[in-house]
């Protein structure tokens, strides 16, 4: 069964993104053929990139980078759940991507953004696309931008999606599965 990591890309203790990431992980476990797990960048706690050599070499001297490498290498696909900060994606997400290279290569990724405002973080998704291309991550077509995030997270900390949001996530997960099937078919031929 393909392994999907849902990556919560905020390290703030009060991040609304964790509730979104838990929802996405739960839906992926319940409705797809993925072995889905949640990876929280707050728990990973990567320092700013501090390796001596370029990530393309794969020669990591620090334990935190070797552990991060193993985590990412173990996954077949990803969903990034990211806040928008000042019109862009979060520094912890950029740092997490920059730490590695070949571990990301050729793998599909779904993108979920959120913000307190009307954009839902869509500009962060567009800003991230060229970075993903550089490490050969392959975004699927369907994205999800969650507007007015505070209105969707209850006092219990649970994300309460609208039906169309659940439908969009289901579509994204389906695209990830199709992308993996197509990649496996390409490798076999």
Encoding tokens for residue 83? 């806040």
| pLDDT tops 70 at residue 146 | yes
Encoding tokens for residue 3? 């392994």
Q: According to the model, what pLDDT value does residue 23 have?
A: 97
Nearest one of 35, 181, 169 to 108, comparing CA atoms: 181
3-state SS, one letter per residue, for the chain: CCEEEEEECCCCCCCCHHHHHHHHHHHHHHHCCCEEEEEEHHHHCCCCCCCCCCHHHCCCCCHHHHHHHHHHHCCCEEEEEEECECCECCHHHHHHHHCCCCCCCCCEEEEEEECCCCCCCHHHHHHHHHHHHHCCCEEEEEEEEECCHHHHECCCCCECCCHHHHHHHHHHHHHHHHHHHHHHHHHHC
> Residue ranges of the domains in the chain?
3-188
Q: According to the model, what pLDDT value does residue 19 have?
A: 96
Nearest one of 54, 19, 28, 8 to 175, comparing CA atoms: 28
CA–CA distance, 10 with 96 (Å, rounded to integer): 11
Average pLDDT over every residue of 65-85: 97
Q: According to the model, what pLDDT value does residue 78 have?
A: 98
For residue 21, name the pLDDT band (cuts at 50, 70, 90): very high
Topology annotation, domain 3-188: Rossmann fold (3.40.50)
Encoding tokens for residue 87? 């019109």
Nearest one of 181, 179, 174, 140 to 32, comparing CA atoms: 174
CA–CA distance, 116 with 99 (Å, rounded to integer): 29
Total residues found in the chain within this entry: 189
- As a dihedral over the C-alpha atoms of residue 68, residue 70, residue 73, residue 78, rounded to 10 degrees, the angle is -50
Q: According to the model, what pLDDT value does residue 183 have?
A: 61
For residue 132, name the pLDDT band (cuts at 50, 70, 90): very high
């Amino acid at each position: 069964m393909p392994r999907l990591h849902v990556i919560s890309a905020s390290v703030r203790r009060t991040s609304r993104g964790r509730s979104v990431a838990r929802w996405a992980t739960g839906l992926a476990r319940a409705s797809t053929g993925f072995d889905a797990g949640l990876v929280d960048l707050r728990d990973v706690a990567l320092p700013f990139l501090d390796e001596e050599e370029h990530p393309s070499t794969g020669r990591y001297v620090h334990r935190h980078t070797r552990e991060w490498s193993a985590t990412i290498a173990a996954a077949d696909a990803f969903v990034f759940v990211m806040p928008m900060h000042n019109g862009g994606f979060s520094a912890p997400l950029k740092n997490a991507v920059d730490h590695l290279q070949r571990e990301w290569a050729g793998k599909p990724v779904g993108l979920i953004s959120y913000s307190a405002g009307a954009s839902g973080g869509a500009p962060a998704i567009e800003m991230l696309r060229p970075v993903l291309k550089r490490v050969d991550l392959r975004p699927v077509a369907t994205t999800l931008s969650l507007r007015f995030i505070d209105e969707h997270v209850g006092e219990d900390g649970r994300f309460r999606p609208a039906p169309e949001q659940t439908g969009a996530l289901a579509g994204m997960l389906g695209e990830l599965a199709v992308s993996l099937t197509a990649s496996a078919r390409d490798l076999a031929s």
